[in-house]
A and B are shown apart, each in its own frame.
Chain A
Amino acid sequence: DAKTTQPPSMDCAEGRAANLPCNHSTISGNEYVYWYRQIHSQGPQYIIHGLKNNETNEMASLIITEDRKSSTLILPHATLRDTAVYYCIVRVPNAGNMLTFGGGTRLMVKP
């Protein structure tokens, strides 16, 4: 499995961009980077995923470095409702499509 490393916690001011980093230096060529978030006591929510190109959707943007060893999830205008634990996951190939969650980053958005 390619492991990921994320800072345990981050703060962000409401209305500002939240940039959440993730290191995945052992990622292999056919593995995707997925981001999920989990608001307290709820099920994880899918945010975005990508292979090598930058991706954007209505929730966030995903920037993957050219060597694919790290990525950044960007929430362009963080709100209090974005306070959650954010998980960066690298998909394990040929493993029953499972997700391997690490510790994640606890993002606190402050007024």
Chain B
Amino acid sequence: ETGVTQSPTHLIKTRGQQVTLRCSSQSGHNTVSWYQQALGQGPQFIFQYYREEENGRGNFPPRFSGLQFPNYSSELNVNALELDDSALYLCASSFGTLKQGTQYFGPGTRLTVT
């Protein structure tokens, strides 16, 4: 069974640029959730995708957007990067949107905005 993978591991961007982060869900999972974790804080929910549709969104501005593909992999796009976007971005996959569904996390992408 393949776990959740994310790419790239690290990247550095300049303020105002755009970035795309990628996530491959665990085998058999059809739901992907994205989280942002600032240094020293717990992860914060950005949004979730289920069967290629956005299925819930946290308190993040529209410049944070996403996609889910037919193979259930996903992308997180952030436009007009700000310094405060520097964080660890985590992807988690689960099966369905059942309340009991357990989410399994990838290793994360460390984004630094300068």
Give per-residue flags for B70-114: 1 if the beta carbon is below 8 A from chain A beta carbons, else 0: 000000000000000000101010100111111111111010000
The contact of B103 among A46, A87, A102, A104, by CB within 8 Å, is A46
Residues on the B chain within 8 Å of A44, using CB: 43, 90, 92, 105
Residues on the B chain within 8 Å of A104, using CB: 42
- The answer to whether A98 and B43 touch across the interface, beta carbons within 8 angstroms, is no
Residues on the A chain within 8 Å of B47, using CB: 96
| Closest Cβ neighbor of A98 among chain B residues | B45
- The answer to whether A97 and B108 touch across the interface, beta carbons within 8 angstroms, is no
- The answer to whether A100 and B106 touch across the interface, beta carbons within 8 angstroms, is no
- What is the CB-to-nearest-CB distance from A15 to chain B, in angstroms, rounded to a whole number? 28
B16 at the interface (CB under 8 A from A): no
- The answer to whether A30 and B99 touch across the interface, beta carbons within 8 angstroms, is yes
- The answer to whether A100 and B45 touch across the interface, beta carbons within 8 angstroms, is yes
The contact of A93 among B4, B42, B88, B99, by CB within 8 Å, is B99
| Closest Cβ neighbor of A36 among chain B residues | B105
Given contact pairs A43-B105, A46-B104, A98-B33, A91 touches B99 in the complex (Cβ within 8 A): yes
- The answer to whether B48 and A99 touch across the interface, beta carbons within 8 angstroms, is no
Which 3 residue pairs spanning A and B have beta carbons closest together?
A96-B56, A101-B42, A43-B105
List residues of B whose CB falls within 8 A of some A CB.
Answer: 4, 31, 33, 35, 42-45, 47-48, 55-58, 88, 90, 92, 94, 97-108, 110
With A43-B107, A97-B97, A99-B43 given, can you name 15 additional A-B contacts, CB distance below 8 Å? Answer: A43-B4, A43-B92, A44-B90, A44-B92, A46-B102, A95-B56, A96-B48, A96-B56, A98-B48, A98-B58, A99-B35, A99-B45, A101-B42, A102-B42, A103-B42
